[in-house]
Homo-oligomer: A and B are copies of this chain.
């Protein structure tokens, strides 16, 4: 597997375009020569935005030829008119590109409770329809167009050689900076993925769920669940590999990588975050236990505030680990901090506190915690399962960003 440039258009047959002016961005992604096999994952919030309702229904039919997404207006809590407008957005693109509107997915992100500015969107769709391209700039423009409070555009692409010797590509763009919380079995932001691998819809669906379970669903900013989260994955089969009907280890590895990199980008971009925190839970009794504990730690406001304060507060990490219904024995617990240079500081070893007041270890831990990228290794010592979650600290700027931004 190799990381390549091109973002979402690194996949053969995919074109993109994007534009953002006057606070409204629009991005278009198309699959040349007809619809691709499509799967998706959506927010589990009962307050679902109109585009989520509309696109989830289309995705269930299994075929998507284009995606049109906008930033600046979430089209959430907008009633019947919101649903109509979501359909209209697809219809405008269908008309411009001579496609079937039923095969066009829509997505929106931005302020809740306002109706879509359809005129502005139509204007932009008309312009973009003539700009569709498979150059790296096209992917970047699309990634920029869907940004809201994002500090940087998010895109990634990889190529890998499948078991049958065929080279395939996976590309993606995403947005997300706040209201990021995991719900196992669901998605957590806007993320559009494409691949030219030939893969059955059932295999594609399983593959996406597996990837999300160890990537976007393990990324936490503050744990709030959005009304608009959507992940879409299109597979057009252009690589002409032997159809993946059950599972390809190589494909899975590549998709896991792509979704994990997107998850990390989103956390690094988190509103007001000053530190990127990776929590590795090791030697848990089960995989589910490991995930629950990893999420409890990255999601704990007290743990997050301690990281902001650069305080090796292992007590809060231990308390967060013990707070969920998952096996853990305090006497077996070890907690180690690691900075981006690979330097480590042990805080707790098998229930014994190492970083006591006045020790060299405490000074070492305090020094390490000044780094901007940190790992916490939480070894439960009672099994063989592992999970990784990503989060950030809780800073003054998080509150600043969220006390004034009307969503």
Contact = CB atoms under 8 A, between A and B. Distances in A.
A267 to B, nearest CB: 15
Nearest to A111: B315
A322 B76 CA distance: 12
Given A112-B319, A113-B314, A301 B402 contact: yes
A403 B304 CA distance: 8
Interface in A318-335: 318-323, 328-331
Interface in A72-93: 76-77, 79
A302 interface: yes
Interface string A269-281: 0000000000000
Contact of A406 (B311, B322, B395): B311
Contact of A47 (B223, B302, B319, B353): B319
A266 to B, nearest CB: 16
Complex copy number for this chain = 2
A396 B397 CA distance: 9
B305 A402 contact: yes
A246 interface: no
A323 to B, nearest CB: 4
B407 A309 contact: no
Given A223-B301, A300-B224, A314-B113, A394 B399 contact: yes
B396 A399 contact: yes
B407 A224 contact: no
A178 interface: yes
Contacts of A309: 402-404
A31 interface: no
A359 B300 CA distance: 38
Contact of A77 (B45, B179, B315): B315
Contacts of A311: 403-404, 406
A328 B305 CA distance: 33
B323 A45 contact: yes
A31 to B, nearest CB: 32
A217 interface: no
A63 to B, nearest CB: 29
